[in-house]
A and B are shown apart, each in its own frame.
Chain A
Amino acid sequence: MAVQNKKLNLKDKYQYLTRDMGWEPTYQKKEDIFPHEDFEGIKITDWSQWEDPFRLTMDSYWKYQAEKEKKLYAIFDAFAQNNGHQNISDARYVNALKLFLGGVSPLEHGAYQGYAKAGRQFSGTGARVACQMQSIDELRHSQTQQHAMSHYNKHFNGLHDAAHMHDRVWFLSVPKSFFDDARTAGPFEFLTAISFSFEYVLTNLLFVPFMSGAAYNGDMATVTFGFSAQSDEARHMTLGLEVIKFILEQHEDNVPIVQRWIDKWFWRGFRLLSLVSMMMDYMLPNKVMSWSEAWEVYYEQNGGALFKDLERYGIRPPKYQDVANDAKHHLSHQLWTTFYQYSHATNFHTWVPEKEEMDWMSEKYPDTFDKYYRPRYEYLAKEAAAGRRFYNNTLPQLCQVCQVPNLFTEMGAPTKLSHRQLVHEGERYHFCSEACCDIFKHEPEKYVQAWLPVHQIYQGNCEGEDVETVVQKYYHINIGEDNFEYLGSPDHKRWMSIKGEKPADENQDAA
């Protein structure tokens, strides 16, 4: 054997460390080794056609990630030592972190598990390696997000038990059920759901506002996490597009299956992101852009171009995107007024937006804010000033699929609640929309077992019959500290004392 050049070039190295890690089995059947590869009906004729968008090998992966980690944790340390939390725009901002920590970071962890599982199931080595790296990325994101935000836990309420709350709290069942739905699907649906529909089509709507929001509001720890995750996210997005094109190019029978998954996961992602809409418009004291602007740029324009590009594969834009486009004028306002009235059951605070903020919304939502939503806040502010801060003391009807309270309105009829119901095998089910009802009809067996938080409370499975007991004992939300109105809350008082101001209504000792 001739002695070859000791140092491999990148292409060879990549070949050795990825493709050559796969082999043809001799004493086991391939379908026994990869039992999940066929049941979804996706036909792969030639795995070698898989193009790896990033020719990254494990050794260089570890090297890059270690470099990024070192820089990231140096900044976390500096942030903590310099009491970085004192430099944020306003303590109301921290409520966005509480939502993120309970709603998003556990999904990163779910993605880590999901990619590990999906990657195991592909007989194609290119796809396996890509899933493996993304799996490790997602674990890193979950950890670094928790580390970035842990500093705030020393100074503000509501951040103390995010993982526990993710499994139990009513509104966190929205992100949890989204990811559980994806993870319990087959590997191809999982990639279409998370890599394509979420990471490629919709993720900019989460990460751009959140990271820019952190920058605009002086949260250097979270901004730095964002930068550190950015190159990973770029890799994930590229994988998302590669996955979809690869599946579609492999066999024409794959097209209708993928189309249905795109319809489903676009909608599920859109419903999940309604939480982000209110974060952008209401929870960032210094605002980046409105939800409606973000939707126009990141979905209507970018998504429009994408689906134009996918037309040649026989893929059309997601069904019900017209409903989502119409909702951009209303979504954040409908969400915030919902959380405002259920603030006694959340681990974050809510408030009536300040006058300048409402003027900003009038400008950003010229056709809807003054007409439909400003009057609500004026009424709520008046009630609060009279000592009757509004809390809804009943529980809401939830959608069987997305698990959001049925708070959305019909397209073109913003004062009419959207509601659908059907009877399946003798049981009634209720939905927020035609789209969620469609999802149910395709896979009723999956959604009849939905763990709906409101129904679970009523069945007596949440350690108490009244909301207060459930919130305190089952959710681990500390009553009077984590929940209720922001004004006058311990967080608010602490912030005033940091800023050297006294609460308007009383003399409060520094926390």
Chain B
Amino acid sequence: MSVNALYDYKFEPKDKVENFNGMQLLYVCWPDHLMFCAPFALLVQPDMTFRALIEEILKPATAAHPDSSKADFLNAEWLLNDEPFTPDADASLIDNGIDHKSMLTVTTPDLKGMAGVGY
């Protein structure tokens, strides 16, 4: 479908990767940890390694949760844009196929949040 308009209605997407000054957007969802109300929206360097993403960005982002220090994110179950995904820890995000506005979902099987309801 297309918008119904009086003229040729066409605009550039506002969030193209070139608007992010060499960086890209990455979303990360940690299911069963609803203390964080929504998936994280992160600004990352496309050439940073997956390991650096975990150590420098994901761990600080999740630090407030008691499960965070126990989580082995590198060896957890990953989805990339809803498809099963095995990260290469020492390859860059882009080489891992993680492009601008991709969404990672990381499930930590033994860690299911608080109160038995994924908080």
User: Within the assembled complex, what's the spacing in Å between the Cα atoms of A395 and B81?
Assistant: 19
Cβ B1 vs Cβ A442 within 8 A:
yes
* Closest residue on chain A to residue B2 by CB atoms: A445
Any A CB within 8 A of the CB of B10: yes
Cβ B100 vs Cβ A428 within 8 A:
yes
Tell me how many residues of A have a C-beta within 8 Å of chain B.
53
Nearest Cβ in chain B — how far from A446, in angstroms? 5
Nearest Cβ in chain A — how far from B55, in angstroms? 16
Query: In residues 1-48 of chain B, which contact A (Cβ within 8 Å)?
Result: 1-6, 9-16, 19-21, 23, 25, 27, 29, 31-32, 34-43
Tell me how many residues of B have a C-beta within 8 Å of chain A.
49
Cβ B117 vs Cβ A375 within 8 A:
yes
Any B CB within 8 A of the CB of A23: no
Cβ B61 vs Cβ A394 within 8 A:
yes
Cβ A396 vs Cβ B119 within 8 A:
no
Q: Given A397-B38, A442-B1, decide whether A455 and B25 contact each other with a Cβ distance below 8 A.
A: yes
Cβ B4 vs Cβ A421 within 8 A:
no
Residues of B within 8 A of A448 (CB): 11-14
Nearest Cβ in chain B — how far from A418, in angstroms? 10
Any B CB within 8 A of the CB of A73: no
Cβ A450 vs Cβ B37 within 8 A:
no
* Closest residue on chain B to residue A454 by CB atoms: B41
Q: Which residue of A371, A419, A428 is within 8 Å of B117 (Cβ)?
A: A371
Cβ B15 vs Cβ A445 within 8 A:
no
Cβ B13 vs Cβ A449 within 8 A:
yes
Query: In residues 340-392 of chain A, which contact B (Cβ within 8 Å)?
Result: 341, 371-372, 375-376, 379, 390, 392
Nearest Cβ in chain A — how far from B118, in angstroms? 4
Cβ A445 vs Cβ B37 within 8 A:
no
Cβ A392 vs Cβ B64 within 8 A:
yes
Residues of B within 8 A of A406 (CB): 38-39
Residues of A within 8 A of B101 (CB): 427-430
Nearest Cβ in chain B — how far from A159, in angstroms? 26
Any B CB within 8 A of the CB of A460: yes
Q: Which residue of A376, A390, A392, A393 is within 8 Å of B115 (Cβ)?
A: A376
Nearest Cβ in chain B — how far from A101, in angstroms? 24
Residues of A within 8 A of B56 (CB): none
Q: Is the interface of B mostly helix, strand, loop or mixed?
A: loop
User: Within the assembled complex, what's the spacing in Å between the Cα atoms of A179 and B9?
Assistant: 19
* Closest residue on chain A to residue B36 by CB atoms: A392
Residues of A within 8 A of B99 (CB): 428
Cβ B38 vs Cβ A407 within 8 A:
yes
User: Within the assembled complex, what's the spacing in Å between the Cα atoms of A429 and B115?
Assistant: 33
Cβ B11 vs Cβ A449 within 8 A:
yes
* Closest residue on chain A to residue B105 by CB atoms: A419
Cβ B4 vs Cβ A186 within 8 A:
yes
Any B CB within 8 A of the CB of A41: yes
- Binary interface profile of A, 428-468, with partner B (CB < 8 Å = 1, else 0)? 11100000000001111110111110110011100000000
User: Within the assembled complex, what's the spacing in Å between the Cα atoms of A406 and B40?
Assistant: 10
User: Within the assembled complex, what's the spacing in Å between the Cα atoms of A379 and B43?
Assistant: 30
Cβ B20 vs Cβ A459 within 8 A:
yes
Q: Given A341-B37, A397-B27, A449-B11, decide whether A375 and B81 contact each other with a Cβ distance below 8 A.
A: no
Residues of A within 8 A of B37 (CB): 334, 337-338, 341, 392, 396, 405, 407
User: Within the assembled complex, what's the spacing in Å between the Cα atoms of A446 and B5?
Assistant: 10
User: Within the assembled complex, what's the spacing in Å between the Cα atoms of A395 and B99?
Assistant: 19
Any A CB within 8 A of the CB of B86: no
Residues of B within 8 A of A379 (CB): 35, 114-115, 119
User: Within the assembled complex, what's the spacing in Å between the Cα atoms of A459 and B100?
Assistant: 13
Any A CB within 8 A of the CB of B69: no
Residues of A within 8 A of B35 (CB): 341, 376, 379, 390
Cβ B10 vs Cβ A445 within 8 A:
yes
Cβ A375 vs Cβ B114 within 8 A:
yes
* Closest residue on chain A to residue B60 by CB atoms: A393
Besides the known contacts A427-B13, A448-B13, A455-B14, 13 further A-B residue pairs in the complex with CB atoms under 8 A apart: A40-B4, A341-B35, A375-B114, A375-B117, A394-B61, A397-B29, A397-B41, A417-B34, A425-B13, A445-B11, A451-B14, A455-B41, A459-B15
Can you offer 5 A-B residue contacts whose CB atoms are under 8 A?
A36-B6, A39-B6, A419-B29, A445-B9, A446-B9
Enumerate chain A interface residues (CB-CB to B < 8 A).
Answer: 35-36, 39-41, 186, 334, 337-338, 341, 371-372, 375-376, 379, 390, 392-398, 405-407, 414-417, 419, 421, 425, 427-430, 441-446, 448-452, 454-455, 458-460
